[in-house]
Every structure is written in C-alpha cells, then in structure tokens.
Structure 1
Amino acid sequence: MKFGGKSILWSAIALLLLLSMGVPLLNWLTVALIMVPFVVLYATLSRGMFAAHIVPVFLIAFFVPGSGPASVIIGLFFLVPAIVMGHHYRQGKPVRRTMTAVLLTILGLALVELLVFESVFGVSLIREMQDRMQDMLGNVASQGVMSDIWTAENTDMVVKMTVQAIPQALLLMAFAATAVAQYLSRRALAGFGMAVPGMPPAHEWRLPRVLVTYYLIALVVQMFIPAGDNSFLSVALLNLVPLLRMAFTVQAMGFFFFLAHQKGWAKPVPVLISIILLIFPPLSLIGVLDAAFPIRKSFQKH
C-alpha cells in the first residue's frame, strides 16, 4: 500500500470521470464507472493515503468550470458504496456478501437523498418527475398525435405506473452499478497483486429454492388484486414480480451454461441462448423449474 504511480494514475482517472459528469451522453458511462477508481484506491491504500488522494480530486472537480457541485455530489454519492466495496475486499469477504452490502448501501443512500431533498429543500424528486412526464405526454396529446386513442386517463395511468415502478428501477440500477464496479475493480486490483474473489462460473449459478415459493405466492396474490388498485401491496407486487421473473431468467441462463459445460458445447451457444431468454421473458419458466426441481442431476456426468 504505497503512494506510487499506479495510485496517482487511478486518482487521475477518478478526476477525469468526475469532470465528465457534465458531458451529455458520456455522463451515463461515467456513472457506471465512477466507483471503480474509488474502490481500487481504498483497497490498495491506507485510509490516510486514500484521503490524500481523494480530497484533492474532489476539490479540483469542484473548482473546474463546467463541473462544479453537481459532479461532486454525484461523486460523493458513489464514494460511499465504493468504500464499502473496498473495505470488503481488504477483509477478503465473499463476493456475494460484498455485492449485497454495496447494493444495500446504494439503495439506502438513494432513499436518504430523496428524504433530504423533500424534507430539507422542499423538493420531491418523484413529484418533479411525475410533473415532467405529465407535461411531456400532455404536449404529445395536444399536438394531435394519437388524439383518437390517447386520453387524459391514459396519461395518468402511464405516469402512475412509471412512478410505482421506481423501486424496481432503483434496484436494477443499483445492481448494475454494483456488478460493473465488482467486475472491473477485481481486474484492476489484480494489477496490484491483490486476489479478489470473483463471481462463480455461469454454470454454477443457482437461486435458493425458497424463491420459487415466493414467486408463486406473488403471482397468486396478484391475480386477486383489482385493476387500478394503488395499495402498498399492489405497488410491492408490481415491482417484486418482474424482479423475480428476471432472477429466474438468470437462473435459466445458468441452466444452459450448465448444459454447455456438461455437454461440451461451443462457448457461443449458451450466450446465444441467453440472449433469446432475455428477449422472451416467459422463458424464465425454465429457471423456475430448474430452481424447483433437481433437473441438473439428470445431465451430470457420472
């Protein structure tokens, strides 16, 4: 853990990512990558040296024209889960525990941010998004686009469903940010000679069988909820069912990677099948069956 050229290089990368926050289109890529240099620096430096690298980075980003407070706020937001990930790496924690901790940290920070904006600044970010969507859809309707079939009720329904799906979107974005950071940080830390546990191979991906029970219960309960219901249960199921369906899609991918591993298929075959699984969500049923029953035992080599 020395103050060396590699650490300075990663500090420079962190600064460039912060400065690129204000660049349209590029900022989405920046958000996906911003945690990586923070993780690398925290995992390879002492806490004092980490601060010696990070503080100047944020100060420069704050005073550079075109960057400013917005970039710093976003950077600080992702700095916290990056420290959590780096701390787990230093302690050699299993990858599942690391990713869970980082995922929960991002979600917790997002909720705190929403509460702070609403309670301190009097700004509801969800309400702002809702108003903008209503204005946008209202403008489309006023211009005569689909005027025969598009009504104010349609606008309200779309806005309501979008707002209700925010928890699902937050969870997916948090998972994506965590997965990207874990994947890239692990490879970057290999350059420092640090061995970081990785994800298990795709053919070993398995979900707990209890998730099948939760999924079936959610589907049955959803059948008895009337259309237009705005209760907490309805919103919870609106987010839970698609997330579980996606999880079982991943399980189905793991099943076909398992088959490829057992049968000696060419590497592109399970990848192509995985793409098909993503395109056709009903095929997640394969993952449900794989999780519920010991199907893989029938294909194991003896």
Structure 2
Amino acid sequence: MKLRWTTAVWSVIYLLLLLSLLTPFSIVTAFLLVLPVAILFTALNTKSFFMHVVLVWLIALLIDPIYLLFAIYFAVPGIIMGYLYRKRKSAMQVLKYGMAVMLVEMLLLLMISTAFFQLNLSDYVDEIVKMTTAPLSEMGVEGGIGGQFLGTELDTQLIKDQTMRLVPFAMIISSFLMTVVTHALARPTLHSMGLSVPRLKPAREWMLPRSLIWYYLLIFFINIATIDSDNTFMKMIVANATPLLQICFMIQALGFFYYLAHERKWHPIVPLLTAIPIVLFPPAMIIGILDLAFPLRQAFSKNKR
C-alpha cells in the first residue's frame, strides 16, 4: 500500500515537472525530469509503469501537445536507467548508459530540428549572444564600461564563434549533469521505498583511466600545431576536449584528497573543502594528473606504515 501511494505521488511530481517546462523554472526542472520516470520504472512492473505515465501524458497532452514531446524525450533515458536499476547493474554502468542515451537524444534532436524544421543553430546562437551582450553594450554607451569589452561587432562575433565551437562540450556536460543528478536523487529515494540500488564507489576509490594523460598530451600538441592554422575542425576538437579532460583531472584530484583523508583519518569535511580550490584554481588539476601518472596513493600508504 505504501509503495502504491508513493508511486502515485511521483506520478503527480512527474506531471508538475512536465508542466514547468514552459515556465522560467524550466532551467532547474529540466534536470529533474528523468528522475520520476527512472523511479517509477524501477518500482513498478512494466504494465503498471505505462499505466502511470500514459495517464500523466494524456493530462499533459490536453493542456498543450508540446508537453507530450517533452515527456517522450525525457522518458527514454529514464526508462533505460530504471531498467538498469531493476537488473541491479553497477552505478557506474547506469551513469554511462544514461549519459550516452541523453547525448544521443540531443544529437538526434539537433539533426531533426535542422533537417525538418529549418533550425539554424548559428542564427540561434547569434540571437542569444546579442541578447546577452545587449545590456553590456548599452552600459558601454552610457557609462563607457561594457563597450570596452563587448560593445564592438568584432567582439560579439568572436563570442558567437566561441559559443558555436563549444556546443559539443555543452551537450556532454548537460548529459553528464542530468545523469548524475538523477542517480544522486533516485538511489536514496528508491532505498526509502524498500528498493536496493547499487551506489557509486567511495570517492577515495575513484581512479580514472591512465590513458587520459596521453589524450591530454595529444590535445596539447594539436593545440600548439593549430595555433596559426585555419583548420576549424581541429580547433573545435581542442576547444571541447581540453575542458573535458581538465574536469576529469579535477575529479581525480578530488578522489586523491578523499583517499588521503581516509588514510590520515582526517575530518570528512577536509577533502570536501579541497574541491573549492580545485575548481577555482584550475592548475590544481596537476594533482589529478600526478595521481594517474605515478603511484602517489601507494607512496602515502607506505609513509603511513
């Protein structure tokens, strides 16, 4: 009975999240829309799941047909993650498949919008950049501040080009964040419903592939070789791969500090606080690189003994 009421509540939450997509709250709620689908698919059998979501979809359809498209779009990764939760797959596997599905959906949506709905991504980005820089440009006209940086047409074009170049990075990060948020909220929620879901390894055990170092060196040399080149494709690869690899090394550095805190019996808040300088001071990622390249953790373990 408790499970039945809980799933009914999550169906209502699902409907409310869908209806929020045409409001200013969509910036936040879009990251939560996969969550109710994953929870309902894990907690219910397939027949009951579709009874719940179809009812939500019908109500949303009566309000505005666009909600049905949103619902189907976000339901696919939710069903995939819920299916993997049912099979008790590892948390890392759930995150990998969830992120991959979301990324593929974004690419398909971009392709379909471009091919059938004449979406011009360049024009869309241009409008966003102009809308964003307009207040600063006006401030430059009135107070002589914003115009120094963003007031000229050349600088606005430069921002547009950089934004276009980082579209793949934005898609990957969005997929990653949506998957992580979904798992972070789904696991304790399902646990409270009496359903066991595998958790991620403790942060102190995080070890990324050592091959990332070679990828980083490759991107570094490609960047040097294309500084004065007109090869926009290679420059786009560098522009997107560099921040992604840097984020990976930051995560590795954070894992190292959690390991060190565990070995030294430090207060749990200490490694959490190290995330602040790691994020605010990007060169700190060198710790993550060293942790991958050399046996730093073994060295600290030996020193302890």
If the length of structure 1 is used for normalisation, what is the TM-score? 0.92
**Match in the other structure for 1:98:** 94
Percent identical pairs in the alignment equals 33
Q: Give, in whole Å, the separation in 1 of the partners of 2:156 and 2:228.
A: 16
Task: Report how far residue 139 of structure 1 moved.
Answer: 7.3
Moved more, 280-289 or 7-16: 7-16
Matches for 1:202-241 after TM superposition, within 5 Å: 202-227=203-228, 229-241=230-242
**In the alignment, what sits opposite 2:263?**
262
Shift of 1:152: 2.1
Aligned residue among 73, 94, 110 for 1:77: 73
Q: In 2, Cα distance between the equivalents of 1:148 and 1:51?
A: 56
> Contact (CA 8 Å) 1:130, 1:163: kept in 2 or not?
no
Query: 2:228, 2:157 → 1: CA distance?
Result: 14
Change (3 A) 1:139 1:203: closer
Q: Gapped runs of 5+ residues in structure 1?
A: none
Could you give the per-residue CA deviations for residues 75-132 of structure 1, whole angstroms, max 9, x where no partner exists? 3211100001001111111112211111110010001101111111112244312234
In the alignment, the residues of structure 1 paired with residue 3 and residue 202 of structure 2 have an alpha-carbon distance, to the nearest angstrom, of: 35
Contact conserved, 2:130 with 2:156, CA < 8 A, in 1? yes
Pick closer, same or farther for the CA change 1:148–1:205 going to 2, 3 Å: closer
The answer to whether the aligner puts 1:121 opposite 2:117 as a matched pair is yes
Contact 2:125/2:160, CA 8 A, preserved across alignment: no
SS of 1:14's equivalent? Answer: helix
What's the secondary structure of 1:4's corresponding residue? helix
Q: Which residue number corresponds to residue 105 of structure 2? A: 109
Cα 1:279–1:135, aligned 2, differ >3 Å: closer, same or farther?
closer
Aligned-partner SS, 2:65: helix
Q: Answer whether contact 2:7 2:40 (CA < 8 A) is retained.
A: yes
Higher share in helix:
2
- 1:35 counterpart = 2:59: no
1:130-145 alignment, distance < 5 Å:
130-134=126-130, 137=133, 140-141=136-137, 144=141
1:14 counterpart letter in structure 2: Y
Secondary structure of the residue aligned to 1:158 is helix
Distance in structure 2 (CA, Å) of the matches to 1:82 and 1:108: 14
SS in 2 for 1:53: helix
Give unpaired runs (5+ residues) of structure 2.
none
| Residue of structure 2 equivalent to 1:21 | 21
User: How much has 1:136 moved relative to structure 2?
Assistant: 5.0
Shift of the 229–283 alpha-carbon distance from structure 1 to 2, 3 Å rule, reads farther
Distance in 2 (alpha carbons) for counterparts of 1:180 and 1:258: 24
**SS at 2:244 equivalent:** helix
Q: For the residues of structure 2 that align with 1:35 and 1:102, how far apart are their CA atoms? A: 10
Please tell me whether the aligned partners of residues 2 and 45 of structure 1 are also in contact (alpha carbons under 8 angstroms).
Answer: no
Please, what is the CA RMSD of the aligned residues? 2.1
